[in-house]
Amino acid sequence: MARTKGALGRIDLIDRLTLPLFAITMVLEHRALTKRVRRDLEDIDAPIPVDDGDPRPDPLVPLGYEAKDTASSLGLLAGNIVIGLTMDAVLGKINRRLFRRRVTNWGSGRLSFWKAMIIWDFLYYWNHRWMHEVRLFWGNHVAHHSGRRYNLSTALRQPWSPFLMSWIYFPMPLLGIPLKTTARAAQLNLLYQYWIHTEAIDRLPEPIETVFNTPSHHRVHHGANPQYLDKNYAGILILWDQMFGTFEPEVRRVRYGLTKNIRFRNPVRVAYHEMIDIARDVRRSDNWSDRLHYVFNRPGWQPVSASTPSPEPAAA
């Protein structure tokens, strides 16, 4: 109980304002979308349209909200908050120890906050990319992509095993960025990504689309369309995707969700179903090479001799 109180004591004003902000903005988005023409959600097994090569972008026609989908997103958020508060003290201790062994003092000076924001955003790009490229990490991230609708509640579909990726940010204390500054950069980076989970905003002016992650760019990231798979990993700056060859513009209408969608919405199952599938694949394998590949290869990997497709959803 003492640890929980300590974690709760570190919740600042921005944290306390976010939940009311989420509620208000979701209500406003829902009302705005009800006044617009909306498309119907496709059948869960409907084939994904093939890109016809037409360079003219499809018009943005939103799907809107659905009660069970939103409830699932809120359940995932609640679990993420509880797990995050539980892990906060442990990760804080690790960061402070690394900070004492720092190799530079980049975290000091007038521009220290902006350095932290840029470094965190750069590390976030690789964090996010590896969550799509390594099945174990995808097992953590898949919950965020499991929704077949796209609205502000989708941003709240947060994973329940964030500790799997925490090590990616350890360079920050080693570079001399204090824990408080690192935490602020993480907080603001995540909050920035909230507003881009919407179909209420179409493409923004070109200078903004060129530099920043926008709703249009992030809709692509949530697409199961073949041309959209594993694209647009950015947090705030879409420049990282442009630099590392993972950028894709929004042209064809996005089919949200997984390449093999799930039919359940229970937050516990959504959060851990891929981890269960990984364990099942490892258990049924008869050699260590395949077991390691099932865990650390790309999602959907199968041995060459396999005659049946993998049961787990592939990355979307």
The CA–CA distances, whole Å, from 2 to 8, 13, 299 equal 10, 21, 39
Q: What is the tens place of the pLDDT at every residue in 112-136? A: 999 999 999 999 999 999 999 999 9
- 223 phi, psi to nearest 5 deg: -85, 145
Confidence tier at 9 by pLDDT (50, 70, 90): very low
Token pair, residue 206, equals 């070109």
- Distance between first and last Cα of the chain: 39
d(Cα 221, Cα 213) in Å, to the nearest integer? 11
User: For the whole model, what pTM was predicted?
Assistant: 0.92
CB neighbour list of residue 291: distance below 8 Å, 6 or more residues apart: 282, 285
Alpha-carbon distance of 176 to 180, in angstroms, equals 12
Calculate mean pLDDT across residues 71-76.
98
Taking the C-alpha atoms of residue 258 and residue 270, their distance in angstroms, rounded to an integer, is 12
Query: Which of these, 251, 95, 72, 60, lies nearest to 148 by C-alpha position?
Result: 72
Residue 310 has pLDDT above 50, yes or no: no
Confidence check: pLDDT of 163 > 50: yes
Contacts of 58 (CB under 8 A, 6+ apart): 251, 252, 253
d(CA 289, CA 54): 43
**251-293 confidence digits (pLDDT tens):** 999 999 999 999 999 999 999 999 999 999 999 999 999 999 9
Residue 223: helix, strand or coil by DSSP?
strand
Go through the chain and tell me how many residues it has.
316
Per-residue pLDDT of 194-210, as tens digits, reads 999 999 999 999 999 99
Neighbours of 10 (CB within 10 A): 13
> According to the model, what pLDDT value does residue 10 have?
64
Where are the domains positioned within the chain?
2-39+58-269
136-154 per-residue burial string, b: 16 or more CB within 10 A, e: under 16? bbbbbbbbbbbbbbbbbbb
Strand, helix or coil at 144? helix
